[in-house]
Structure formats: structure tokens, C-alpha cells
Amino acid sequence: MDLASLPHDVRRAREFARAAHGDQRYGAHPYVVHLDDVVEILAGLPARDEPTLIAGYLHDVVEDTDVTLVDVEEAFDVIVARCVALLTDAPGESRKQRKAATYARLARVADGAPEARALVVKAADRLANVRRSVEDQNRRLLEMYRREHAAFRGAARRPGLTPALWDELDYLLEWTDEETP
């Protein structure tokens, strides 16, 4: 992805997120590698727009850093902040509890609502995670994503909204451990 070709506010969101995530790692990589992976997926979609790309860079910033939703709204706008709120895992004692609460919020997003961008970002985030897990042959993470896939798909997928993204995600997660592509 050519970062210079991204709109100014998208590049600003990248720098905002990069600074907020600081020294955090995504496996063996700086965290910004994951954020770039997500935005590269989003940038390849026909229905991409600036708020979606911005939310792609900011999707983990409230969950994983000291940045607040107020900070996001002040730096960008209310729609981006609402999307980031939907993308931020709900509190819970276990991953299963956090994801269940987050998926319930995503399931309530109305088709066509400005916040529906969060559904696209969440699918791109999951696809980036699964692609990286396949590349790294991380069977533990792949199995976790497989276990969660039905609930995740039921909450975030909408007919006609990024079908190619969902097709790839379904394909990558249907393999068994012995057959992982």
C-alpha cells in the first residue's frame, strides 16, 4: 500500500494510532504492521471511504492504549468515534465474555447506518488476523478464530456488505489444522 496516496486525515489517523500504540507488538512486528494490514484490506474495497479507513487505523486504540473515545472524537469526528466504540471490546473477565458482549453490540447495528462502517472494519480486522495466523502457521490462533467464527459471522456479516472479504475469511477458516493453506 502506498501510504503517500492515502488522504491526509487517513495518514494523520495512522500517525495518531502509531504514536498511541507506541512500542506495542503484533507478534514479531510493530503494531502498526497490523493496522496497515487492516487498512490495506479496506482500501481495496469498492465502498471504502475516509471514515472507514480512519476507523481502520483507530480500531484498537481505545481498547489497547490510554486514548479515550473523547480523544478520538476530538481528533477526528463523532462517526469515527462511534465506530471505534463498536470495535472496542466490551469489558469482561474472559475473552469469551468480552467477545459475546461485543458481538451483541455489532448485531444491533442497522444496515445503512453510518456506524455500519464498523462492521466492515471488524471483518477486515479479523481477516488480517487470520491471514497473519495462516502466514505464521499459528495454529492456536487459527483454532480460536475457527471456534468464534459462527458467532462473529452472525453478528457482523450483512448481505451484500463486502462479500469477497467474508468469502476469503470463510475459506481460510474452513481448513483443518492438517490442511491449513
**In the annotation, is 71 catalytic?**
no
Q: Are 122 and 175 in contact (CB under 8 A)?
A: no
Which of 63, 89, 148, 168 is labelled catalytic?
63
Dist. CA 119–CA 121, nearest whole Å: 5
Residues paired with residue 26 on neighbouring β-strands, in sequence order: 29
Residues 64, 77, 148, 168: which is the catalytic one? 64
Measure the CA dihedral 103/104/105/111, to 10°: 90
CA 148 to CA 58: how far, in whole Å? 23
Q: How far are the Cα atoms of 51, 97, 111 from residue 116, in angstroms, in the given order?
A: 11, 23, 6
Whole-angstrom distance, CA of residue 35 vs CA of residue 116: 19
Count other C-beta atoms under 10 Å from residue 44's C-beta: 12
Residues known to be catalytic: 63-64
